[in-house]
Amino acid sequence: MNREKLSAEAVTAALAELDGWSLAPDGASIKRSFVFKNFSEAFAFMTRVALAAEKMDHHPDWSNVYKTVDVTLNTHDSGGVTALDIELAKRMNRYFH
Ligand SMILES: C[C@H](O)[C@H](O)[C@H]1CNC2=NC(N)=NC(=O)C2=N1
């Protein structure tokens, strides 16, 4: 998948289609908090995402406290948001219920 940095306009357009995601304060990543019923659900989500991320060779920056998973996505190599980040964000939204 294309690792070229998306324009600010392209990121804004993609975000409009991505429930819960917004531009991070650094302007070079997107972020979302996922809140689950309990730790077990949060960790199951992280496990699913981890397997998808390995397949994509694209990995989230994230943290987990109890039932909350905070995620920041960017493409380190490109110094910004790329199609890979948008794709991973879409998958995370699909796995979140
Ligand atoms: C060698 C390997 O393809 C790279 O290091 C990958 C791994 N996972 C990655 N994940 C993210 N989020 N950004 C990257 O630039 C990146 N690069």
Q: Please state the ipTM of this predicted complex.
A: 0.94
Kindly report the pTM of this predicted structure: 0.96
Can you tell me the distance from the alpha carbon of 28 to that of 49, in angstroms, rounded to the nearest whole number? 21
pLDDT of 70: 98
State pLDDT tens for residues 26-52: 999 999 999 999 999 999 999 999 999
Give the ligand 1 atom nearest the CA of 3.
Answer: 15
> Is the predicted pLDDT of residue 83 greater than 90, yes or no?
yes
Determine the distance separating the centroid of ligand 1 and the alpha carbon of 74, expressed in angstroms: 9
Q: What is the DSSP string of 14-26?
A: HHHTSTT-EE-TT
97 pLDDT band, cuts 50/70/90, is: confident
* Nearest alpha carbon, ligand 1 atom 15: 76
Give the ligand 1 atom nearest the CA of 78.
Answer: 15
